[in-house]
């Protein structure tokens, strides 16, 4: 995959799918094909916020009405990343445009709601749907998605670890 050094070049409708906008040890950013948007792979944190900001700013400058950011493969997103998305959405909202966050993890949706950023004009959040193969947490049965360290036996049922 070729690394594109001019971010503006990969944000249009003629952008090749998967064109690499930025690539580091912690985060890879690629372009969507056929629409203005970016996909993120890895961590969005204090170490990668600069490259995220640069890519998002380029997408905002590009001028499309809707900008899509796919967070399906984001392993971690800190508050600085969510703040950056909310501020970009606010700027877009002032121009009658939208920032669409796609496949947002449920815990990140909750954080966005807790701090009130889900109400930012111009921000549209599409939550990630739990996978049918993902473990379910049945509180009544005492199931836990992760067992406390040193206290678990491998008595998993249906992909959920039960403590002994």
- Say whether pLDDT at 51 is over 90: yes
Single pTM value for the model? 0.72
> Are the C-beta atoms of 41 and 52 separated by less than 8 Å?
no
Give the pairing type, strands 123-127 and 27-31: unpaired
User: What is the tens place of the pLDDT at every residue in 124-148?
Assistant: 999 987 653 333 444 344 443 333 3
In angstroms, the Cα distances linking 46 to 18, 31, 81 are 24, 22, 8
Mean of the per-residue pLDDT values of the chain: 78
| CATH architecture, range 7-130 | 2-Layer Sandwich (3.30)
- Say whether pLDDT at 59 is over 80: yes
Q: Give me the mean pLDDT over the 44-54 stretch.
A: 97
Residue 71's pLDDT band (cuts 50, 70, 90): very high
- Say whether pLDDT at 106 is over 90: yes
Residue found by looking up tokens 């939208």 in the block = 98
Note the pLDDT of residue 108.
96
């Amino acid at each position: 995959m070729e690394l594109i050094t001019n971010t503006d070049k990969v944000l249009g409708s003629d952008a090749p799918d998967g064109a690499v906008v930025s690539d580091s040890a912690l985060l890879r950013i690629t372009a969507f094909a056929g629409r203005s948007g970016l996909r993120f792979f890895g961590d969005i944190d204090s170490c990668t916020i600069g490259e995220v900001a640069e890519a998002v700013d380029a997408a905002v400058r590009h001028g499309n009405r809707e900008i899509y950011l796919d967070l399906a493969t984001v392993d971690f997103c800190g508050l600085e990343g969510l703040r950056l998305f909310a501020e970009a959405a606010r700027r877009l909202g002032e121009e009658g445009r939208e920032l669409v966050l796609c496949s947002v993890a449920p815990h990140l949706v909750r954080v966005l709601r807790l701090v009130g950023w889900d109400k930012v004009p111009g921000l549209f959040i599409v939550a990630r749907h739990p996978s049918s193969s993902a473990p379910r947490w049945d509180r009544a049965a005492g199931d836990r998605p992760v067992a406390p360290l040193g206290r678990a036996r491998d008595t998993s049922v249906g992909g959920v670890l039960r403590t002994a």
